[in-house]
Chain A
Amino acid sequence: MNHPYDIAIIGGGVVGGMIARTLSAYQFRICILEKENDVARGASAANSSIVHAGFDAHEGSLKAELNVKGAEMMASVCRELGVKYQNNGSLVLGFDLADREALEALLRRGTTNGVKDLRLLEQEELRALEPNVAKDATCALYAPTAGIVCPYELTIASIGNAMDNGAELFTNFAVTGIEDLGDVFCISSESAKVSARYVINAAGLFADAIAAMVGDTSFTIHPRRGEYLLLDRECGGMVKQTLFRTPGKMGKGLLVTPTVDGNLLVGPTSVDQEDKTDKSTTPEGLSLIRAKSAENAEGVPFGKTITSFCGLRAVGSTGDFIINLPRERFVNVAGIESPGLSSSPAIAEYVVELLKDAGLEFRTNPAFDPIRPATHAFREGSIEEKNAMIQKDPAYGRILCRCEGVSEGEILAAIRQNPRPRDLDGVKRRTRAQMGRCQGGFCSPYIVELLAKENGVPFESVTKFGGGSIINFGKTKEEA
């Protein structure tokens, strides 16, 4: 067996990523084990991208504590990691007296949880703040501290930053077994093994299966599907705040929100299911979104839909986040459903405290650099700044993705940066190339070419997202 890692993190989502990054500030050998071809492929790739203010979770719950703290940390974490974040505020809309009472209860809960500046708005003020809000909304709970963030960008950046600071990433490493050898765990996939003194289980939907590998069957995780429609960037401006309805039994209901990239996002549906791999969209789900959105905002232009997708939330059986040590040197970070994204920076700090309490010795990594350069810096630069970069590397002058205006230089930089993408979707999530209104119709053949060249693999072996997701079946003509 190879020299053991100090810490193995199972799961390359936003939770695993934030933990890896936080731990990489200390002198540990860290590895991240991800079962897919890239990081940010589960719930971290498909969610509402909201930084919740923190008034939803029950007083005293871990969710409440970590949400409020995480939301407070988010702006600075995003700044360090070069991730787009916007403090746009949120509105929970009320339509009748019952809603108003529920909103008042949320206001009290939020205040107890420590959410700042919460207040109820009456119709007039609501309309002034958000002109396209549903006409019948009579009041709203306004949370100015709420925000939006790009969840996969945050995941990729946190893992990239951890790797820049020494952590290692193993993709296509689906954990099939964990054996406790006394002082180290031996973690196996079908084709490889790693050993580590400590294991952090951040396996999302599969966290129950991973925990069961070390004998912990105290909780289960079930998937709850959430379908979304994403609209063209020209629609993002129709609302400024994130608009929720007064919550019901199945969570926070549908939302209408701008994204940090200027699109409009509408969803999610909320349906429990058994299958942890079924991320298919359904006609029922998509028509429900179209029908229900009118309860948030007037006249959502669904004709401008550019894509639809489904994410699976990892709903834990306890109702709260499950963050504990069921046995020595093994940490569960499970059941991280909403507000998991908002909480993720605080979850990482909470895990550090748990590990300290468990006796792990923390020594500061003097070389730790919390900064990861923003991948979208080029696009946001002035003409002079752009020209300075093009002069250094002419590839920045060649636009490949015309819809989102992404240059070859940015794509190459993303391919060469930690964690290196190997597939089309990986480039999409890092650069936004193929993310626009033509959905890669024009640029994807060029990106396949760049991926093949940079990764030294044949053109036809480049995939959409790893596994069997090949794009081409080989050459059309016979080889000489």
Chain B
Amino acid sequence: MKQIDLVIIGGGPAGMSAALAAYEQGVTNLLILERDSRLGGILRQCIHNGFGLHRFGEELTGPEYAWRYEEKVLEKKIPYLLDTMVLDISPEKVITATNTSLGVFQIQAKAVILAMGCRERPAGALALAGDRPSGIFSAGTAQKYVNMKSYLPGKNVVILGSGDIGLIMARRMTLEGAKVHAVCELMPYSGGLARNIEQCLNDFGIPLKLSHTVVKIHGKGRLEGVTIAKVDENRRPIPESFEYIPCDTLLLSVGLIPENELSKTAQVELSPITNGATVDQNRQTSTEGIFACGNVLHVHDLVDYVSEEAEIAGNAAAAYLRGALQSNLHIPLSTDGKIRYTVPQTITEEKEITVYFRVSDIFRNATVKVLDGDRVIYSRKKQKVAPGEMESILLKPVQFAGAKALKFTLEVE
């Protein structure tokens, strides 16, 4: 069996960034396994701009952002295999993969970085009532048809869910000549970025219907229309508000799910909240030597943060291979529900640590507090926090020195 020090599963922004970081730290026996025919991951079909401001100080499109990393991977001659699907990762880090030239093959890795990204929640998961016509797509599938295959999957469109891909596709389909009639969002707020509501909906006069959902699908061949309804505070449709909208296409942008099937085969412990692995500040999972980063760990708003996180994982994997990974503490981080989750979920080392977190609702004038028992070790006021926007705080070793456990809370006035 072939032995490789570090195998990175996935050649998207997380995988490439992790590989480059590990390479810079001296790991030269490494390999990226990518299932698509090119490096770049989902960014290849995200042709809109808005990527990289944080990282590169300029606005790039998805393919341009991916190319910044791909170029470096090529330059450093970091080995990668394309069109290669990983079928299994064992807890002992034996990776089974397949492609057309090597067939099914196995690699014994010393360290693994999981960077498989996420997938969209499909229509089926919503168990929408009504017929089962064609014309119902997840927004990303429609994006693939339009941007990669140059086919138009719809002319009269309703979008359910106001995630960023849905908003982006509202504009994209409009520019390609489709009419987008409405974006319905079940929650009283959008899950997408404010700028995308502005430039993708408002610019084109597309109504965003908050607290609305699709209650029925109509059409026996191609979709003919949807019935939408306003929902009450318990998210139940209000019968008097039913409205029929004729349309041939329903796009869904109702959430992203980290794609952790391989993590399960590796027996990596997963968080039921993030649907990703539970990790320490090094992004090391419950299985020693297996790291996770990017959208497979938790869904990010910005690729810039994916790259940042992947570098942490890449650096840590390199340290692990050198035998230099510190782990002399065990401080679990918990949350109060208003804060839904943190990444990392444990701290194992005394150093400056950025903790990312997401809230469960929109809160105004809230105070983020980190508690060690009754002791407040961190406190900061926030004007507004929203589920769609990941927050972060920096913890210094002096703050958590001696702590047994830390609790992240949000106090709302």
Which positions 217-242 of chain A face chain B at CB distance < 8 Å?
229-230, 234
Say whether A438 contacts B119, CB under 8 Å. Answer: yes
Interface-facing stretch out of A18-26, A351-359, A412-420, A469-477: A469-477
Say whether B98 contacts A390, CB under 8 Å. Answer: yes
Across-interface contacts of B123 in A (CB, < 8 A): 439
Cβ-closest 8 pairs across A and B: A468-B221, A307-B124, A464-B134, A394-B100, A439-B122, A399-B85, A469-B134, A387-B103
Q: B149 interface residue, CB < 8 Å from A?
A: yes
Q: Name A's B-contacting residues (CB within 8 A).
A: 229-230, 234, 277, 279-283, 285-286, 305-309, 383, 386-387, 390-391, 394-395, 397-399, 402-403, 405, 407, 437-442, 444-445, 449, 459-460, 463-465, 467-477
A397's contact among B104, B148, B259, B261, by CB below 8 Å, is which?
B104
Say whether B124 contacts A281, CB under 8 Å. Answer: no
Say whether B152 contacts A472, CB under 8 Å. Answer: yes
B100's contact among A280, A308, A398, A471, by CB below 8 Å, is which?
A398
The 17 listed contacts between A and B (C-beta, < 8 Å) are: A285-B129, A387-B103, A398-B85, A399-B87, A402-B35, A437-B119, A437-B125, A439-B123, A449-B149, A463-B134, A467-B220, A469-B134, A470-B134, A471-B134, A471-B153, A472-B152, A474-B152
Q: How far is the CB of A311 from chain B (nearest CB, A)?
A: 11
Given contacts A282-B129, A463-B134, contact A441 B221 (CB under 8 A): no
Q: B48 interface residue, CB < 8 Å from A?
A: no
State A402–B132 Cα separation when bound (angstroms): 23
Say whether A281 contacts B130, CB under 8 Å. Answer: yes
Q: How far is the CB of B86 from chain A (nearest CB, A)?
A: 9
Across-interface contacts of A463 in B (CB, < 8 A): 134
Additional A-B contacts beyond A305-B124, A386-B104, A470-B134 (4; CB < 8 A):
A394-B100, A399-B85, A405-B85, A476-B151
Say whether A277 contacts B220, CB under 8 Å. Answer: yes
Across-interface contacts of B155 in A (CB, < 8 A): 473
Across-interface contacts of B324 in A (CB, < 8 A): none
Q: How far is the CB of A460 from chain B (nearest CB, A)?
A: 6
Q: Which residue of A lies closest to B221 (CB)?
A: A468
A469's contact among B98, B133, B152, by CB below 8 Å, is which?
B133
Say whether B35 contacts A390, CB under 8 Å. Answer: no
Q: B61 interface residue, CB < 8 Å from A?
A: no
Across-interface contacts of B146 in A (CB, < 8 A): 476
Say whether B103 contacts A441, CB under 8 Å. Answer: no
State A305–B132 Cα separation when bound (angstroms): 16
Across-interface contacts of A286 in B (CB, < 8 A): 127, 129
Q: How far is the CB of A182 from chain B (nearest CB, A)?
A: 39
Q: Which residue of B lies closest to A435 (CB)?
A: B124
State A470–B153 Cα separation when bound (angstroms): 9
Across-interface contacts of B145 in A (CB, < 8 A): 445, 471-472
Say whether B152 contacts A386, CB under 8 Å. Answer: no
Across-interface contacts of B354 in A (CB, < 8 A): none
B151's contact among A407, A437, A442, A475, by CB below 8 Å, is which?
A475
State A390–B217 Cα separation when bound (angstroms): 42
Across-interface contacts of B388 in A (CB, < 8 A): none
Grouping DSSP codes into helix (H, G, I), strand (E, B) and loop, the A interface class, with mixed when no group exceeds half, is mixed
Q: B24 interface residue, CB < 8 Å from A?
A: no
State A307–B235 Cα separation when bound (angstroms): 21
Across-interface contacts of B120 in A (CB, < 8 A): 438, 441
A280's contact among B83, B129, B138, by CB below 8 Å, is which?
B129
Given contacts A281-B127, A469-B134, contact A475 B152 (CB under 8 A): yes
Across-interface contacts of A470 in B (CB, < 8 A): 134, 221-222
State A477–B127 Cα separation when bound (angstroms): 35
State A379–B151 Cα separation when bound (angstroms): 32
Across-interface contacts of B138 in A (CB, < 8 A): 438, 441
State A286–B127 Cα separation when bound (angstroms): 8
Given contacts A390-B104, A464-B134, contact A459 B141 (CB under 8 A): no
Q: Which residue of B lies closest to A385 (CB)?
A: B104
Say whether B133 contacts A441, CB under 8 Å. Answer: no
Q: Which residue of B lies closest to A449 (CB)?
A: B149
Q: B40 interface residue, CB < 8 Å from A?
A: no
State A449–B151 Cα separation when bound (angstroms): 12
Across-interface contacts of A383 in B (CB, < 8 A): 96, 104, 106
Q: How far is the CB of B16 from chain A (nearest CB, A)?
A: 19
Say whether B98 contacts A281, CB under 8 Å. Answer: no
State A472–B144 Cα separation when bound (angstroms): 12
Q: Which residue of B lies closest to A466 (CB)?
A: B221
Across-interface contacts of A283 in B (CB, < 8 A): 129, 215
Residue among B98, B133, B217, B248 with max Cβ neighbours from chain A (10 Å): B98
Which positions 104-163 of chain B face chain A at CB distance < 8 Å?
104, 106, 119-120, 122-125, 127-135, 138, 140-141, 144-146, 148-155
State A386–B87 Cα separation when bound (angstroms): 13
State A307–B126 Cα separation when bound (angstroms): 8
Q: How far is the CB of B115 from chain A (nearest CB, A)?
A: 15
Q: How far is the CB of B61 from chain A (nearest CB, A)?
A: 17
Across-interface contacts of B177 in A (CB, < 8 A): 476
Q: Which residue of B lies closest to A46 (CB)?
A: B132
Q: Which residue of A lies closest to B36 (CB)?
A: A442
Across-interface contacts of B132 in A (CB, < 8 A): 279-281, 309
State A395–B259 Cα separation when bound (angstroms): 24
Q: B58 interface residue, CB < 8 Å from A?
A: no
Say whether A465 contacts B100, CB under 8 Å. Answer: no
Residue among A279, A281, A306 with max Cβ neighbours from chain B (10 Å): A281
Say whether B124 contacts A390, CB under 8 Å. Answer: no
State A438–B119 Cα separation when bound (angstroms): 7
State A198–B139 Cα separation when bound (angstroms): 50
Q: B99 interface residue, CB < 8 Å from A?
A: yes
Q: B232 interface residue, CB < 8 Å from A?
A: no
Q: Which residue of B lies closest to A285 (CB)?
A: B129
State A442–B130 Cα separation when bound (angstroms): 24
Q: B101 interface residue, CB < 8 Å from A?
A: yes
State A394–B102 Cα separation when bound (angstroms): 9
Residue among A305, A395, A449, A471 with max Cβ neighbours from chain B (10 Å): A471
Across-interface contacts of A471 in B (CB, < 8 A): 134-135, 145, 153
Say whether B222 contacts A308, CB under 8 Å. Answer: no
Say whether B122 contacts A441, CB under 8 Å. Answer: yes
Given contacts A463-B134, A464-B134, contact A395 B100 (CB under 8 A): yes
Across-interface contacts of A474 in B (CB, < 8 A): 151-152
Across-interface contacts of A386 in B (CB, < 8 A): 98, 103-104
Contact with A along B158-195 (1 / 0, CB 8 A): 00000000000000000011000000000000000000
Say whether B98 contacts A399, CB under 8 Å. Answer: yes
